Chain A
Amino acid sequence: MSTTHSRTAGKAMISPAVILLFLWMIVPLAMTLYFSFQFYNLLDPVKSFAGFANYEYFLTDPAFFEALGNTLIIVIGVLCITVIGGTLLALLLDQPMFGQGIVRLLFIAPFFVMPTVSALVWKNMFMNPTNGLFAFLSKLVGSTPIDWLGHHPLASIVMIVSWQWLPFATLILLTAMQSLDSEQIEAAEMDGASALSRFFHIIVPHLARAGTVVILIQTIFLLSIFAEILVTTAGGPGYASTNIPYLVYMQSLLQFDVGGGSAGGIVAVILANIVAIFLMRLVGKNLDL
């Protein structure tokens, strides 16, 4: 790819793929943008220009702020649980033990279960206030079973999603931990560092980079959690477990308001970009070790 000629040829040859990908992204975005400036309801076939009315409606809706807060709680809650839990589990799995291979496999398994399936399993088998395992355990010790999804819907969702993402964090952090030079640990041991100091001064800094990758990838997926909410709480009670993607869904497909839903979608895209810029800063700083 050094001569001008071959470079031109190269560009020509990759262009179909690039153009296809570009259209794939830009057409839906442009259409969403267009719809967001229209009064467009599926029950009323007549479209008309709306200006910023859809945005105004979406952004002043009290549900929006609740959904925004819920989105952040889900993202931050799951990140905290998976990163801290993942580090501790990785530490545990890194120890030599009997049946290491099988134990590791078992830990990774939840990642391969589809979100709808795992959410349903949690809903019906664990959290159900009459038949669930948690209810059974509560009754065993004589306390009243908790109606998880009814009374703590957001905490329940955070719990379910954490269960799904914990293996991912554990796996990435475990590989990072295995790449730590054992002589560094031994040197710290000779230097008089206790197990706790070794963890905070040697292991945690070593995991910083892998941890950043975990946070970055998980945030992208956690911002758009949807299936788990749909099959468990359906965003309720009220808006207690509605996040932005779910709000957009309700707007456009339950209220048939495509214009309003599109405006919400654009807002979600902008929010995701703000988070992305923030994260890229963080990554840039951490990957520059």
Chain B
Amino acid sequence: MGSITLKQVAKRFGDTEVIPPLDLSIEDGEFVVFVGPSGCGKSTLLRLIAGLEDVSDGVIEIDGKNATDLPPAKRGLAMVFQSYALYPHMSVRKNIAFPLKMAGMDQAAIDAKVNGAAATLNLGDYIDRRPGQLSGGQRQRVAIGRAIVREPSAFLFDEPLSNLDAALRGNMRLEISELHQTLATTMVYVTHDQVEAMTMADKIVVLRAGHIEQVGSPLDLYREPANLFVAGFIGSPAMNIIAGPAAEAYGAPTIGVRPEHMELSHDEGTWRGVVGVSEHLGSDTFLRVDVEGVGTLTARAGGEFPARHGDTVGLTPDPERMHRFDANGLRIAG
């Protein structure tokens, strides 16, 4: 239980086609992340799966059964919204109990489930407070609690961590991953943060303007991006994209080299340039190097590589780990 299949699903708002027909299959128990720039249709796609929007074309199957025309409640999915969408006039306990109450469960069973969820998510301290009296992270937990008590066949998350600060986001990321390990339930997760995508996903779906650009495991996408868009989107800091004569030297109209796949040295290198900004992160140092005829490149140096503003350094790309793209921006195999 928990597989989702989209067949030629399309969505139009009036005349504008937000999602052109696309196919996608999500296996049972998978953690699938939709990434893409703002406005590319991630939320729309998630809402189509949830049943909060009607599809304009195509078929949605959940567990092999056609669910295209089922109302949201009948699809057996639970959603965690970006704004949390907690009910402000109900206590945390009532919020979590709400879906069970709507399902007509008896009070003893509801209490047992709510207490179980509260224990899993450590909600005990504020179970009788109202959402207005909670911090962002606590609200997020309550929203997740409300989703898990229903024991859905899949969870849908729409940018659940985007309102949290960096440290808390890191924690919650781990917690959601752990939750996925324990429950082993399908999760579909929308984000525009590629770090979240890389760390959490079994499978990443990269979207641009409603199109699926590539589907694959985080490492597949990192090692073999299908096109320039995916190459630029996955990886942090972003891949260096080089065009012109410097690229043609390697036999392609455009090449891509990741900052971590270049050799840095003080005296020699294929490309020589002047260090602009250097960012010291402790373990790593990222140098922005201006190379004449190539452009500004980002290179990773070990934490102790001595380089300062104005130094001249040499960069040597590793041809084995270089990505070559044709004139249409598609990957050249090999």
Contact = CB atoms under 8 A, between A and B. Distances in A.
B85 A189 contact: no
Given A191-B73, A191-B98, A206 B52 contact: no
Contacts of B89: 205-206, 208, 289
A192 B71 CA distance: 9
Contact of B79 (A187, A192, A205): A187
Contact of B87 (A184, A186, A190, A192): A184
Name the residue in A186, A189, A191, A193 with the highest tally of chain B Cβ atoms < 10 Å from its Cβ: A191
Interface in B121-171: 146, 150
Interface residues of A, number: 19
Contacts of A191: 73, 98-99, 102, 146, 150
Contact of B73 (A181, A184, A192, A205): A192
A183 interface: yes
B291 to A, nearest CB: 48
Contacts of B78: 190
Nearest to B83: A183
A188 B85 CA distance: 9
Interface residues of B, number: 22
A205 B86 CA distance: 13
A202 B81 CA distance: 16
Contacts of B146: 187, 191
Contact of A186 (B52, B86, B88, B150): B52
**Which secondary structure characterizes the binding site on chain B?**
loop
Contacts of A197: 102
Contacts of A202: 87
A139 interface: no
A49 to B, nearest CB: 57
B52 A201 contact: no
A197 B103 CA distance: 11
Interface string B251-280: 000000000000000000000000000000
Interface string B82-111: 110111110000000011001100000000
B77 interface: yes
B72 interface: yes
A190 B52 contact: yes
Contacts of A205: 87, 89
B198 interface: no
Of A187, A192, A202, most B-chain CB atoms within 10 Å: A187
B72 A189 contact: yes
A201 B87 contact: yes
Contact of A189 (B52, B83, B86, B87): B52
B50 A181 contact: no
A189 B79 CA distance: 10
Contact of A183 (B73, B81, B103): B81
Given A187-B79, A190-B72, A190-B73, A181 B98 contact: no
B81 A192 contact: no
A187 B81 contact: yes
Interface of A: 181, 183-184, 186-194, 197, 201-202, 205-206, 208, 289
Closest CB pairs A-B (n = 10):
A191-B99, A192-B73, A187-B85, A183-B85, A205-B89, A192-B102, A183-B81, A190-B72, A193-B102, A184-B85
Given A187-B85, A190-B77, 6 more contacts: A183-B85, A190-B52, A191-B98, A193-B102, A206-B89, A208-B89
